[in-house]
Structure 1
Amino acid sequence: MSSRKTSRRVTMMDVAKAAGCSQATVSVVLNGVSDIKISADLKARVIEAARQLGYGVGSVVRHSALEELRGACIGFIVDQLASTPEAVNAIEGARHESWENDITILVAQSQGRAEHEERAIERMLRAGAEGIVYMSIFTRRVSLSPVFDTLPVPLVLLNCYTNENRYPSVIPDEINGGRAATNLLVKAGHRRIATITGETFMEATQDRLTGYRKALTEAGIAYDDTIVAEGSWTPTSGYEATRKLMALADPPTAIFCQNDKMAMGCFTALAEAGLKVPGDISVVGYDDDELARHLRPQLTTLELPHRPMGAWAMRQLAKQSRAPSHPVTKITCALVERASCAPLHAPARD
């Protein structure tokens, strides 16, 4: 069975396994929860496991980069908090990066409204915020309210950027993500590789499709728009797109779904057609959503790196950079190989 590459991020579950305790215990120890009693021995095991694995406290770079912010307060403004896990993952990444330095993160949801952003900034500065992270749920170019131009503290953009690149900003490397997903299928011998995209106006869709086309070109495979189906990021759209693809006279032998929810719908449509994944057809998703581990077979996918992006934002704030222009930083969407891909014509798995 395939597993993550050794370069994957270390999770609380990894620390829990190494320390011989539950993930909940790890969370209590690493978050400094004082009203829950943990034995000194167990606490020491958790902290040592975290150090050994490089989680939160294990990096010398992390210590030195954030030392200037020790005991500080950081503001985190996001346009939408509740509807998707991306904001929570980014905030978790920021928190994991900074917990040892006793940095407090204040979070506000703006719903993309300038008046909400201005009110949040005013209150965060009043609370002593020494830096602001501004996040968009969807990767995009943003036009910031003028209030951001007069901030007395550093500003970092997460999952978005401006035309002028005036502020440090970080986004996922979606082009190489789409390329990696497609390359995996090419290397498995597939030539008839379909893709189900998200909504075409979104940058993530455009970039993942660009990566898909790059991989095909590099492999000498002609781009065929008849096996490019538009979805809307939902399981239903993945289901309907898969039915159309498999009804073609020359159906694909592999499908790259541009998010895991569409892959879930894809799985259902393939099962209804009597096809087995990956024996009859291989499927790759994107995002590394929690559901990817609960599909059967488990879904090979690309990790959307919001946790690393949150950690990057904290380190960038600590640098206090005031340069007039900043290149947009792109963070790799790591390939997470599981069981939904196989070489072309490989026998079905149980």
Structure 2
Amino acid sequence: MDSIDKKRSNAPANRRLKEGVERRATMTDIAREVGCSQATVSFVLNNAPGIRLSDETRRRVFETARRIGYDVPSAARTVESGRPGRGQHIAFLVDQLSTSPEAVQAIEGLSQAAQAAGGLVFVAQSRGDEETERDLVEAFVRQGATAIVYMTIFTREVKLPKILQDIDIPVLLLNCYAVGQAVPAVVPSEIAGGQRATHHLISKGHQRIATITGEVWMEAAQDRLKGYRRALATADIPFDDDLVFAGDWSASAGYEATRKILDLPEVPTAIFCQNDRMAIGCYEALKEAGYQIPRDMSVVGYDDEEIARHLHPQLTTSVLPHRAMGQWIAEQLADGQVEARYPLTKLECPLVERASVEKPRS
């Protein structure tokens, strides 16, 4: 073979060598090798959320990318290795944002923990509208959300929106729980909170304790009342239905219920108001009737709102752990292994002792 023939026979190899030196591997090359679309390769290597792909497809894409020398993004390498990555984009969806401080506290707890790990939190309000929820979730997924937190203002069981059942990123519930506990959820331990508040009054020597409940259809009101009853039972104090007064969480309800309590033939020595706003009305009715707190009547609230520290005397109350629940959510995501099925987590409602409780007058 003469030199011309040698040059001709080596030409394809030379061209391939030249292409190998000058041209980098592309997603199209990976797709051709794996036998999938270029879009699928992009989804895998860019860790696109909300896309359901088999583990086998993901594995083949990564193996092929390494074999042909494709420069895999660092974020994708982190996902492949199973290590939690930095820079999570957490979507926070709540039904009502402005009706109470609880949502803001939960967002604060989640945001602080997420930002410490290099992540961001995006917040939206749905007002409980199904179409709005669907549109918001789709928008969050398109924008690259790595997890979605779904919160309700009132603690309750929820039917998980279908869009949240279909997406392929972690979904966690805050202040609510799904039917069958299908996804991780965290709520306040309301029964224990009501029991602890009532036990505190009992430990000070009170035996006749009235309580003003919230709206009875709400789980929080039901559970705080259960805690009240448990504390009485534990102390061998008979439950008296005449000492239970229905309220609606408002200061006006606390005021009206307290006036009824003071009209009882045997006035109790303590009142457990099942939220701080009703305790405000309770204070007003007591002072109007000439009662001094806590000398003549001890009062306990619930929620630990800002006003509790500014009442006179300062109100003994329980903390609703929404900030801690937000932090709990961040901790689950930081672990990188959010289970598809997870037991319901209940966080303690700590009692904050202030000046509104003392021993009853003999």
Residue matched to 1:227: 243
Q: Distance in 1 between matches of 2:131 and 2:172?
A: 19
The answer on whether the counterparts of 1:156 and 1:317 sit within 8 Å (CA) in structure 2 is no
Q: Distance in 1 between matches of 2:93 and 2:282?
A: 35
Q: Distance in 1 between matches of 2:248 and 2:86?
A: 43
Pick from 274, 278, 282 the counterpart of residue 298 of structure 2.
282
Residues 97 and 128 of structure 1: CA distance in aligned 2, closer, same or farther (over 3 Å): same
Residue matched to 1:36: none
Q: Distance in 1 between matches of 2:335 and 2:179?
A: 22
Displacement after TM superposition at 1:125 (Å): 1.2
Residue matched to 1:208: 224
Shifted more, 231-240 versus 123-132: the winner is 123-132
Residue matched to 1:84: 100
Pick from 305, 314, 331 the counterpart of residue 321 of structure 2.
305
Displacement after TM superposition at 1:68 (Å): 2.2
Displacement after TM superposition at 1:323 (Å): 3.6
Shifted more, 93-102 versus 297-306: the winner is 93-102
Report matched runs for 1:1-350 at 5 Å: 68-321=84-337, 323-345=339-361
Residues 309 and 257 of structure 1: CA distance in aligned 2, closer, same or farther (over 3 Å): same
Structure 2 SS opposite 1:164: helix
Q: Distance in 2 between matches of 1:276 and 1:283?
A: 11
Residue matched to 1:55: none
Displacement after TM superposition at 1:341 (Å): 0.3
Question: What amino acid does structure 2 have at the position aligned with 1:259?
Answer: N
Displacement after TM superposition at 1:320 (Å): 4.1
Deviations 1:282-326 (A, max 9, x none): 000000001001100000000000000001011112334454421
Structure 2 SS opposite 1:158: strand
Structure 2 SS opposite 1:263: helix
Question: What amino acid does structure 2 have at the position aligned with 1:136?
Answer: T
Displacement after TM superposition at 1:280 (Å): 0.4
Residue matched to 1:20: none
Question: What amino acid does structure 2 have at the position aligned with 1:104?
Answer: L
**Structure with bigger RCO (C-alpha 8 Å, 6+ apart):** 1
Deviations 1:172-212 (A, max 9, x none): 00000000000000000000100000000000000000000
Question: What amino acid does structure 1 have at the position aligned with 2:305?
Answer: D
The answer on whether the counterparts of 1:236 and 1:262 sit within 8 Å (CA) in structure 2 is yes
Q: Distance in 2 between matches of 1:78 and 1:140?
A: 13
Residues 340 and 69 of structure 1: CA distance in aligned 2, closer, same or farther (over 3 Å): farther
The answer on whether the counterparts of 2:84 and 2:336 sit within 8 Å (CA) in structure 1 is no
Q: Distance in 1 between matches of 2:215 and 2:337?
A: 36
Q: Distance in 2 between matches of 1:70 and 1:322?
A: 16
Larger Rg: 2
Q: Distance in 1 between matches of 2:223 and 2:122?
A: 32
Aligned length: 280
Percent identity over the alignment is 52
The answer on whether the counterparts of 1:74 and 1:129 sit within 8 Å (CA) in structure 2 is yes
The answer on whether the counterparts of 2:193 and 2:224 sit within 8 Å (CA) in structure 1 is yes
Q: Distance in 1 between matches of 2:135 and 2:187?
A: 26
Runs (4+) of structure 1 exceeding 3 A deviation are 319-324
Q: Distance in 2 between matches of 1:322 and 1:305?
A: 21
Q: Distance in 2 between matches of 1:77 and 1:345?
A: 49
Deviations 1:203-223 (A, max 9, x none): 000000000000000001000
Unaligned runs of 5+ in 2: 1-82
Q: Distance in 1 between matches of 2:109 and 2:302?
A: 19
The answer on whether the counterparts of 1:154 and 1:321 sit within 8 Å (CA) in structure 2 is no
Residue matched to 2:63: none
Q: Distance in 1 between matches of 2:126 and 2:285?
A: 38
Task: Compute the RMSD of aligned alpha carbons.
Answer: 1.2
Residue matched to 1:46: none
Question: What amino acid does structure 2 have at the position aligned with 1:197?
Answer: T
Question: What amino acid does structure 2 have at the position aligned with 1:289?
Answer: E
Unaligned runs of 5+ in 1: 1-66
Residue matched to 1:64: none
Displacement after TM superposition at 1:83 (Å): 1.1
